Amino acid sequence: MRKIAVIGTGYVGLVSGTGLADFGNEVTCLDINQEKIDILQRGELPIWEPGLLEMVEKNVDTGRLSFSTDIGAHIREAEIVFIAVGTPSADDGQADLSAVFSVAETIAKNLTGKKFIVTKSTVPVGTGQRIREIVSEQAEPGSDFEVISNPEFLREGSAVYDFLHPDRIVVGTETSHGRKVMEEVYRPLYLIETPFVFTNVETAELIKYASNAFLATKITFINEIANICDVVGADVHMVAKTMGLDGRISPKFLHPGPGYGGSCFPKDVKALSAIAKGGNYEAQLIDTVTAVNEAQRMQMFRKLERLLPDLEGKTVTLLGLAFKQRTDDVRESPALPIIGKLKERGATVRAFDPVAMESMKKHHPDIDYADGIYESVEGADAVMILTEWNEFRGLNLGKIKEVMNQPVMVDCRNLYDPGTVRKAGFKYACVGRETYSEKLS
């Protein structure tokens, strides 16, 4: 068992800290935000993530997990300090590392004994070296520490499972001692032969960005193919399914829709482009991924415009606000620019999401938030399905048509068979199979 301090109780810090406690370590999750720590100490969560509350409760009850704002004291007591603070995009696309460097300064001021400083936050190549310089400059002369990179690969909505059953553990370390310590931190995974990748810090930092950029590229590619399918009369589902049968491609992340969002892919793709520019290299493919993804949101809006050209004074219902199902995260959600465009065109926006409405109210407090699915579509002139929540997959189309002002549906997640919806009396648009399905009708 290792004594660990995790600085940052956001998505990454809270899931990682709780998971490390579940592996048998003694973990204190730390934050300067007193309100968040108060919430956690009351046995509640500041974020919504399936399965996390139960794992927090279990590890708090065993005494392995605690929460505090006394960052300095717990740094001094810990053997291993994880940095898990946010690295949002700056205006130029680079990762804002101010929180990371502030933590590094705090660690330097509280360095006692041998310390392993582990970067869990997603950071550009060279951040580990800069952390090392900050600590060296500000700590007492002769202080003994090592900086390690240990990027996370958590999917929102499945983060607890991903932490406990990872595809791989990546560790960037310069020493055999650092490798041994990290093997012990993740001992339950090491014992069951989970793949461990040991490399230098710089490579570990880049692995995270490369992984996310590739997945974002795959999503963007199939969306581009979906748009081509609409033009030529092909079925993107059959295209994607057949592509996925090729072992070199695989079917994962070949699901057409309104574009990727969330806290990772958008900022990480932009940050990777900024890293390249910093080395005087233009990452053309990466830049195009961002541009095509942003355009995909307006592609969905144009589908609505084709079915309902005059939006002035019309009521449009959005089913789903989170960037994907099983999360309340609306960061970079396709719903954000679509709401903005609807307002610009003079439409009244109504919305329902099982868990993300409170999150969206921080961005758009003035839209109409409904209490349920069928309440949200009553009197509406159109409905757009933006998130693939399971409860949106089995809608009573007859009931919806009966209460809507006009039966118009834009299915941005392809949850329905086009023929079935059209036979129910709807004007219907989907992604990558519109003209194909019309030919079959």
Please tell me the predicted confidence (pLDDT) of residue 440: 55
Q: What is the mean pLDDT of residues 336-358?
A: 98
Output 192-195 pairs: Cβ under 8 A, ≥24 positions apart. 194/166, 194/168, 194/169, 195/167, 195/168, 195/169
> In the chain, pLDDT over 70 holds for what percent of residues?
99
Indicate the domain borders of the chain: 3-199, 226-440
DSSP 208: H
Report residue 169: phi and psi, to 5°: -115, 125
Q: What is the mean pLDDT of residues 118-124?
A: 97
> In the chain, pLDDT over 90 holds for what percent of residues?
98
Please tell me the predicted confidence (pLDDT) of residue 434: 80
Is the pLDDT at 360 greater than 70? The verdict is yes
Please tell me the predicted confidence (pLDDT) of residue 70: 98
Is the pLDDT at 366 greater than 60? The verdict is yes
Rounded distance between C-alpha atoms, residue 100 and residue 84, angstroms:
8
> Domain 3-199, what architecture?
3-Layer(aba) Sandwich (3.40)
Residue type, 364: H
Please tell me the predicted confidence (pLDDT) of residue 103: 98
Rounded to the nearest angstrom, the gap between the alpha carbon of residue 222 and the centroid of all alpha carbons in its chain is 19
CATH 3.10.180.10 fits 226-440, yes or no: no
Catalytic: 412? no
Rounded distance between C-alpha atoms, residue 88 and residue 72, angstroms:
24
Topology agreement, domain 3-199 and domain 226-440: yes
Rounded to the nearest angstrom, the gap between the alpha carbon of residue 27 and the centroid of all alpha carbons in its chain is 24
Structure tokens at 95: 């990762």
Is the pLDDT at 236 greater than 80? The verdict is yes
Q: What is the mean pLDDT of residues 282-294?
A: 97
DSSP 102: H
Q: What is the mean pLDDT of residues 176-200?
A: 96
Of the residues 29, 264, 412, 430, which is catalytic? Answer: 264
Pick the closest to residue 122 from 156, 94, 145 (CA basis). Answer: 94
Q: What is the mean pLDDT of residues 360-388?
A: 98
Give the predicted TM-score (pTM) of the model.
0.94
Whether residue 333 contacts residue 321, with contact meaning beta carbons closer than 8 Å, is answered with yes
Report pLDDT digits (tens) over 43-79: 999 999 999 999 999 999 999 999 999 999 999 999 9
Please tell me the predicted confidence (pLDDT) of residue 439: 57
Please tell me the predicted confidence (pLDDT) of residue 301: 98
Q: What is the mean pLDDT of residues 374-383?
A: 98
Rounded distance between C-alpha atoms, residue 122 and residue 19, angstroms:
18
Please tell me the predicted confidence (pLDDT) of residue 146: 98
